[in-house]
Amino acid sequence: MGNKVFIFDTTLRDGEQSPGVSLNKKEKLDIAVQLAKLGVDIIEAGFPIASPGDFEAVKAIAQNVSGPVICALARIGFGDIDRAWEAVKYAKRARIHTFIATSDIHMKYKLNKTPEEVLEMVALGVKRAKGYTDDVEFSAEDASRSDLKFLCKVFETAIACGATTINVPDTVGYATPDEFGKFIAGIKAGVPNIDQAVISVHCHNDLGLAVANSLAAVKNGAQQVECALNGLGERAGNAALEEFVMGLYTRRDIYGYDTGINYQEIYRTSRLISSLTGMPVQPNKAVVGKNAFAHESGIHQDGVLKERTTYEIMNPQMLGMVQSNLVFGKHSGRHGFKQRLEELGYHLNDPEMDQAFKQFKELADKKKQITDADLQALAENLMRNI
């Protein structure tokens, strides 16, 4: 394990729970293949009991994507766990991720269960999953609003029954970095068999703190971080993978941890996911936004021209934002145009490409030189109107 933080990508599960996002099997498979190139350690491929489509997508990913562990989500009941295994069992390395809520508010109002009943369900569910695979993750939903003593008992039980990863979700994005860091330290100190499991965190972004909370958790003993590309996920989303990974890398002087991420694939993966989900990336989005490396003021431009690091703390080329040697204008051909769009992360099908190329030629008639920013604007506009 050393100084590595495992990256658990949940773009295809929690990310797909973003309002308005729905991916078909082929799109999910394309994303999973790209996530493997990106170098994530675990792909949460879906929630098989949720629908036949989700089941088939998890199965297809388990059958066809190699490299990362492939994970399927299940509530703690046997029906969910059996269905998750049916879908994910084809993977070379398969994980079942099972969960139940542990906060008073969820146990009382949502589950209508006592803490003792929840504890018993955890034991039974984790054992059921362990009967299928050695790799079992247990999540205590709404962990950050749970009583710490009870939560530690739940995790101790899950580990004793075979969980190899215990996940601490900040389900409603309520925690703050100092508090969440201490909470993770409290779990590390309060669960006697914690050495037998990886501590994971799963932070939501309701207060815009998901990445900060994940970094604070790592500082206090978390070894796995759950995140989604472009920060997709329920409501305000999950911790953005690209922000967490680049935070850890850029401030390695503070954290001293590495990930297995292939940085060169970050931009391409972000673009692919944006185009397939139809969720545009806001221009000023950290790391992958169109403006993340654009310098408007004269002072900044002057500084960057003299020495890039005056105003850039990351290198856009490291993220796979390739500088093109090609100049685009009205004489440019369709092949080069398509290639450049793909380098920028836009994968258009044939009819979309026809439309994009027509708009490009119209623009080129008005503007002598077409920049990458023009191409991006054209592709974004097209995607918004599909």
200 binds ligand KIV (CB under 6 A): no
In degrees rounded to 5, what are phi and psi of residue 94? -110, 140
Contact string (CB under 6 A) for ligand KIV, positions 240-279, x = contact: ----------------------------------------
95 binds ligand KIV (CB under 6 A): no
For residue 338, how many other CB atoms are within 10 A of its CB? Answer: 16
Q: Contact region for ligand KIV (CB under 6 A) — 82-90, 164-172, 317-325, 344-352? A: 164-172
Residue with Cβ nearer Zn ion (60 or 168): 168
Can you tell me which of 9, 11, 14, 156 binds ligand KIV, judged by CB under 6 A?
14
47 binds ligand KIV (CB under 6 A): no
CA distance 161 to 314: 44
Quote the least distance from Cβ 63 to ligand KIV, whole Å. 24
Quote the least distance from Cβ 222 to ligand KIV, whole Å. 14
Q: What is the largest CA-CA distance in the chain?
A: 72
Q: Pick from ligand KIV, Zn ion, none: which does 99 bind, CB < 5 to 8 A by kind? A: ligand KIV
Which DSSP string do the residues of 148-175 spell out, in sequence order? HHHHHHHHHHHHHTT-SEEEEEETTS--
Number of residues that bind ligand KIV (CB under 6 A): 9
Structure tokens at 249: 């890398």
Per this entry, what is the length of the chain?
386
Q: Pick from Zn ion, ligand KIV, none: which does 11 bind, CB < 5 to 8 A by kind? A: none
141 binds ligand KIV (CB under 6 A): yes
CA distance 103 to 344: 44
Q: Are 254 and 35 in contact (CB under 8 A)?
A: no
Q: Pick from Zn ion, ligand KIV, none: which does 242 bind, CB < 5 to 8 A by kind? A: none
Buried/exposed 9-29: b ≥16 CB within 10 Å, e otherwise: bbbbbbbbbbeebebebebbb
CA distance 313 to 280: 24
Closest CA to 373 of 384, 363, 386: 363
Can you tell me which of 169, 181, 247, 320 binds ligand KIV, judged by CB under 6 A?
169
- The label of the residue with tokens 């389900």 reads 171
Quote the least distance from Cβ 149 to Zn ion, whole Å. 24
Residues that bind Zn ion (CB under 5 A): 14
Closest CA to 337 of 317, 355, 316: 355
Q: Pick from ligand KIV, Zn ion, none: which does 139 bind, CB < 5 to 8 A by kind? A: ligand KIV
Closest CA to 224 of 71, 26, 57: 71
Can you tell me which of 34, 102, 165, 171 binds ligand KIV, judged by CB under 6 A?
171
Contact string (CB under 6 A) for ligand KIV, positions 202-231, x = contact: x-x---------------------------
Quote the least distance from Cβ 197 to ligand KIV, whole Å. 15
Residue with Cβ nearer Zn ion (202 or 340): 202
Closest CA to 145 of 121, 167, 169: 169
SS3 content of the chain, % helix, strand, coil (to 5): 50, 15, 35
Measured between alpha carbons, how far apart are the two ends of the chain, in Å?
A: 45
Q: Which residues are annotated as a binding site for Mn(2+)?
A: 14, 202, 204, 238
The residues of the shown chain that bind ligand KIV, judged by CB under 6 A, are: 14, 99, 139, 141, 167, 169, 171, 202, 204
